């Protein structure tokens, strides 16, 4: 979706910065979730070697924070094109339908 937004609305510098920030947030979120999943047991050898005692972190808190941050990033991606759609010289009804098309496209 961010690449589509870049192609459609990427003329303005502020919008490009917003897309860059969301790209970076998505990459950081991905890396954080992957590292957190890989390091859920310290030392990591405890995942496959049952002789090694390992300490697990709070998995419920981990999954809650990852899903909450994922939802916030998704909402930011969904509402990003709305500010540009509002600036278009179209009737309000067309702007609403166009916004809904972008919102459905993110599903």
**pLDDT reported for residue 107:** 67
Average pLDDT over residues 82-88: 87
Higher pLDDT, 44 or 19: 19
Q: 106 falls in which pLDDT band (50, 70, 90)?
A: low
Secondary structure E strands in 19-68: 41-42, 55-56
**Which strand (E) or helix (H) includes residue 19?**
helix 13-38
Which three-class secondary structure state does DSSP give residue 55?
strand
Give residues with Cβ within 8 angstroms of 99, minimum separation 6.
Answer: 81, 82, 85
Whole-number pLDDT of residue 61: 92
Name 41's bridge partners. 56
Question: What residue segments make up the domains of the chain, in order of their start?
Answer: 2-79
> Mind listing the pLDDT tens digit for each residue in 27-75?
999 999 999 888 888 888 887 888 888 888 888 999 999 999 999 999 9
């Amino acid at each position: 979706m961010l690449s589509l937004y870049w192609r459609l609305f990427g003329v303005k510098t502020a919008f490009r910065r917003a897309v860059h920030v969301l790209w970076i947030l998505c990459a950081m979120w991905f890396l954080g979730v992957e590292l957190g999943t890989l390091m859920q047991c310290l030392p990591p050898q405890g995942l496959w070697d049952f002789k090694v005692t390992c300490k697990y972190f709070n998995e419920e808190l981990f999954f809650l924070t990852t899903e909450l941050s994922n939802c916030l990033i998704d909402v930011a991606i969904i509402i990003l094109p709305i500010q540009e759609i509002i600036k278009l010289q179209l009737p309000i009804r067309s702007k609403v339908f166009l916004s809904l098309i972008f919102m459905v496209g993110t599903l």
